Amino acid sequence: MFRTLDLTKRVFLIGASLFALQALVLFLLGQPLISATGQIKLWVSAVLSSEMSQQLFDWYTFSHIIHGFIFYGVLHLLFPRMSVGTRLLLAMGIEIGWEIAENTPFVINAYREQALAQGYAGDSILNSVMDTVSMMFGFLLARRLPVSFTIGLAVLFEMYVGYMIRDNLTLNVLGFIHHFDFINRWQSGG
C-alpha cells in the first residue's frame, strides 16, 4: 500500500514539475500565456483564425490524443514491466519536448511554409499545456481500450479532421518533412 501511494505521489509530483518546466521554457521562448485577445475559449474551430493554437482545444487536439495512443503502444512494447505511471511520465517528457521544439523559431518558420499555417506564431502556453493534457488523455484511453478499437479511433480521428479542415497528424508530419505541391494545393482549396 505505501509503495503504491509513494509511487502515485512521485508520479504526480514529477508530472507537475514537467508541466511547470514546459510553461517556464515556453515563457522564456516568448510565447504568450493566453491568446492576445485576453479571452480563454474552450474550443476554436476556425483554422485560419489567430485563435488557433491559442485556446484550450482546437482541431489539432485530436492529433495530441493520437500521440497518446502511439506513446502508450510504443512504450508498452518497449518497457512492458515498467509501471504505467513511469511510462506516462516518459510520454509526457516526449510530448513536452515536442511542444517546446514546436515553439522554437526554426519549427514555427517550417510550419509557416505549409498552406494552413502561414500565419502561425506558435502556441500559447495554455494551449501547449492542454496539448500535453490531451496526449495524457489519449495515453490513458489507449490503456483501457482494446488495441483494434484504439487504432480504429485514430483512423477515424484522422479521417474526420482531414475532412473538416484539410489537415491532420499525417498531413502535418508529411508537410513538415517535405512540401508536396498537391497537398498544398488541396489544403488551399485548389
pLDDT digits (tens, 9 = 90+) for 103-116: 999 988 888 777 56
Q: What is the pLDDT of residues 35-44, one digit of tens each?
A: 999 999 999 9
CA distances from 32 to 36, 90, 110, 156 (A): 7, 26, 20, 32
Report pTM: 0.93
CA distances from 63 to 16, 68, 132 (A): 22, 9, 11
Q: What is the mean pLDDT of the chain?
A: 92
Share above pLDDT 70 across residues of the chain, in percent, rounded to a whole number: 95
Q: What is the pLDDT of residues 40-75, one digit of tens each?
A: 999 999 988 889 999 999 999 999 999 999 999 999
Place of cell 504526480: 12
